Amino acid sequence: MADMRTPLNKVRGLGSAKEGADHFWRQRVTALANIPLTLFLVVSIALLAGGDHAQVAAYLGSPLAAVPLLALVISAAIHMRLGMQVIIEDYVYGEGAKVLCLVANTFFTGLVALTCVYAIIKLSLGS
C-alpha cells in the first residue's frame, strides 16, 4: 500500500530518541581526553624509536606510561565507535546492513581496545 505520509510527518510528535545530546557529548569528552593522551603516545614512540625490545617493554610496562596508555586506548575506542557509527548511519541505507555494521563496529572497537589493554597489562606485570 502506498504510504502517503512523509518521513518527517511520521516522526513528528514522537519526541526525542531519548538519548538527547549523549552521543555528541561523549564524542567531545573523549576528543578532549584524546588530545593529551595521543600527544603522550606520539612523544613516547618518538623517544622509543631505535630502542630494543627490553627498553620498549620496560617503558610500556612502567606505571607512568601504562596508565596513560590504558586511558588512551579506552577513550580512543569510545571515540572511534561513535565516529564510525555516524559514518555508518550516513552511508549504509538498508536497515539490516546498517544494524549489522553498527554491531560489527561495536565488536571491532571493543576487540581492539581489549587487545591493547591485554598487551599493556601483560607488559606491566612483567612476563
Residues that bind other proteins (CB under 8 A): 3, 6-7, 28, 31-32, 34-35, 38, 41-42, 45-47, 49-54, 56-57, 60, 73, 76-77, 80, 83-84, 87, 89-90, 92-93, 95, 109, 112, 115-116, 118-120, 122-123
Closer by beta carbon to other proteins, 13 or else 91: 91
Kindly state the smallest distance separating residue 116's Cβ from other proteins, in Å. Answer: 5
Q: Do 34 and 79 form a contact (C-beta atoms < 8 A)?
A: yes
Could you tell me how far CA 56 lies from the centroid of its own chain? Answer: 25
Closer by beta carbon to other proteins, 56 or else 102: 56
Residues 6+ apart with CB under 8 A from 63: 124
Please provide the DSSP assignment of 6-36 as one string.
-HHHHHTTS---S-TTHHHHHHHHHHHHHHH
Closer by beta carbon to other proteins, 15 or else 50: 50
Closer by beta carbon to other proteins, 47 or else 100: 47
Cβ count within 10 A of residue 76: 21
Kindly state the smallest distance separating residue 34's Cβ from other proteins, in Å. Answer: 7
Kindly state the smallest distance separating residue 18's Cβ from other proteins, in Å. Answer: 20
* Rounded-to-integer distance, Cα 100 and Cα 86, Å: 14
Q: Which residue has the cell 500500500?
A: 1
Kindly state the smallest distance separating residue 6's Cβ from other proteins, in Å. Answer: 7
